[in-house]
Structure 1
Amino acid sequence: MIAALNAAVDQIESQLATDPAEPVDVAGLAARQGTTEHHLRRMFASLAGMPVSDYVRRRRMSLAAADLFGTGDDLLTVAVRYGYGSTEAFGRAFRSVHTVTPGEARRQGGPLRTQPRIRFHLTVEGSVPMDTRITQLPALHLVGHAARVPLVHEGPNQHIADHVASIAPEETRRLKGLNDTEPRGVLAVSDDLDPDRREGTELTYLHGVATTTHPHSDGLDVIDVPAGTWAVFRTEGPHPSALQDAWAATATTWFPSQPWRLRPGPEIVATLAFDAGAATATCELWLPVEPA
């Protein structure tokens, strides 16, 4: 995967150098590297710390800044070269990266916030093994109560906490009675995530259970999940930091060294044990995968 990411970056840089106005086809980049757009976007964002779309935008504006100083072209000519139909649209994009307008940058010489070219490297520590298993699940239904919430990368997600708190304990007990397959117990399901995993983007969060029989109970939201392969990561420790660290480590450590890649589908957390006093938990993180 590291080689595929670097090859994708090479193709991005080549396109920006020859035709900076042309939109980057991420799906095409992924196909040429023998992977999927879904997996490439997730791995890029996790390893680079930014979505591939942000990297392209920052690199494009870094090259545009060099053009402002390296050529005598007027602002409209530079704007059109980078795919903008007006100096106003170009100025907004330029300022979003450099915090100054193109005119201010040209007059004052900066400040500029250029984005260096990214290169990916894998450092294998091997000191902390990941407790992982691969399993097959039949077609199933995730049923419960769903809400749209913002994505939070670190720390508690208050929107999720408020949603779960709004569900009566007797309703959670009713849901437990519907669970007839793995993952066991009451689940935290994240679905319809932004492909680039931008913090603050919305996702569908479902507080519910897994069942192989479609329930006829009123008032339940349902996510239908086809049969497939899942990677299951067991975590123990401070909650939610241990779980969030494991989530990040799947991209930085596990996937680059394993013959699996992410496939589209919900991401599921099953809480096996929780100590509220110590703020610790034992969890299973379920990610849908397919052979790489």
Structure 2
Amino acid sequence: MEWLKRMNNALDYIENSLDDEIDYKKIAEAAYCSEYHFSRMFSSIAGISLSEYIRRRRLTLAAFEIQKSDLRIIDVAVKYGYVSADSFSRAFQKTHGIKPSDARSSGVQLKAFPRISFQISIKGDTEMEYRIEKLDYELRLIGKSNTVKTNRAFKTIPTLWNSAKKDGFMQELINLSWENPKCTLESLLGVCGKEAAITDEEFDYFMGVRYDGEPPSGMETLIIPPSTWAVFPNVVEAWKRLYTEWVPTSGYELANLPCIECYYGPKHKPRHELWVPVISK
């Protein structure tokens, strides 16, 4: 499967660059994947963040190097991306439970984290509903953004919306969203990654609505170009299955644009949808 080969190409790039600077953009390029989505796709499939995987692999190789060579600890630290012996020692001890210098002692116990390889896993016992929407005009959104830690996104984002409801920001967005209805995205929108790719550790979550006028004081504007979207009901369920089940077999590639969480008003079915930017292969 082409998708599987691409993901393993990215792993090859990582493995060949562990003793050098790793460019996250090049990892995504090796997978022929959008920068916006690769880190999140990796963590969804592997069950570990991309940065943590790289850290563990580097510290595994560093332990081997210390045991098998006479290199100074500082030289091993620099080789695997640490700027000081102290930062390397802290990371090494956190992973292996001992100081780097103690790794040369006979009989010490260390931890080896093996290289990941992606393989086909047969799933799909439960169908995924979706539709394709083509919007031939740019989306002009207004709202506010917050920085969200990726590993806490499912907890943090509902809290942000609850706070917006309490302080009146949500009602302000609702009032603006129907001034000039134009498309099916007339609702509360959560944009995952405002200006740059979703980084491995955190991303900007933009809370807003589609609006063609000037933004009110305190709000900013976000413009998304004409795009094709795969739309899934149930935001949480869609996020859980998007990268592992739908993307590998869909015949679509992810576009280099952010996903949009769309939250509709009362009595609307479904109550919320995930809009995913795609390109037909």
Q: TM-score, normalised by structure 2?
A: 0.81
Residue identity in the other structure for 2:163: D
Out of 260, 268, 275, the position equivalent to 1:286 is: 275
Contact 1:60 1:82 in 2 (8 A): yes
Could you say which residue in structure 2 is the equivalent of 1:161?
162
The answer on 1:176 being equivalent to 2:203 is no
The answer on 1:253 being equivalent to 2:245 is yes
Query: Which 5+ residue runs of structure 2 have no aligned equivalent?
Result: none
Contact 1:181 1:210 in 2 (8 A): no
Structure 1 residues 221, 38: CA separation in 2 closer, same or farther (over 3 Å shift)? closer
CA displacement, residues 99-140 of structure 1 (integer Å, 9 cap, x when unaligned): 432124444855533221101122232221111111112202
Structure 1 residues 14, 169: CA separation in 2 closer, same or farther (over 3 Å shift)? closer
Structure 1 residues 215, 124: CA separation in 2 closer, same or farther (over 3 Å shift)? farther
Query: Which 5+ residue runs of structure 1 have no aligned equivalent?
Result: 236-242
Structure 1 residues 51, 196: CA separation in 2 closer, same or farther (over 3 Å shift)? farther
| Structure 1 outlier segments of 4+, above 6 Å | none
Residue 82 (structure 1) shift: 2.9
Distance 1:161 1:47 in 2: 30
SS of equivalent residue, structure 1 residue 114: coil
Residue identity in the other structure for 1:232: V
Contact 2:193 2:206 in 1 (8 A): yes
Distance 1:37 1:108 in 2: 44
Could you say which residue in structure 2 is the equivalent of 1:42?
40
Contact 1:153 1:244 in 2 (8 A): no
Distance 2:191 2:80 in 1: 40
Contact 1:263 1:289 in 2 (8 A): yes
The answer on 1:209 being equivalent to 2:209 is yes
Residue 176 (structure 1) shift: 3.1
SS of equivalent residue, structure 1 residue 135: strand
Distance 1:25 1:149 in 2: 22
Contact 1:144 1:209 in 2 (8 A): yes
Contact 1:175 1:186 in 2 (8 A): no
Residue 4 (structure 1) shift: 0.9
* Sequence identity (%): 30
Could you say which residue in structure 2 is the equivalent of 1:88?
86
Residue identity in the other structure for 1:263: A
Could you say which residue in structure 2 is the equivalent of 1:266?
258
SS of equivalent residue, structure 1 residue 118: coil
Distance 1:105 1:128 in 2: 48
Contact 1:147 1:163 in 2 (8 A): no
Distance 1:83 1:170 in 2: 48
SS of equivalent residue, structure 1 residue 113: coil
Could you say which residue in structure 2 is the equivalent of 1:52?
50
Residue 170 (structure 1) shift: 5.1
Aligned ranges 1:112-261 → 2 under 5 Å: 112-137=110-135, 138-151=137-150, 152-155=152-155, 157-167=158-168, 171-178=172-179, 179-192=181-194, 195-198=198-201, 201-206=202-207, 208-211=208-211, 213-215=212-214, 217-235=216-234, 243-261=235-253
Residue 83 (structure 1) shift: 4.3
Q: TM-score, normalised by structure 1?
A: 0.79
Distance 1:81 1:176 in 2: 53
RMSD: 3.0
CA displacement, residues 44-103 of structure 1 (integer Å, 9 cap, x when unaligned): 222112233322221111011112222343323433443445432322332343343212
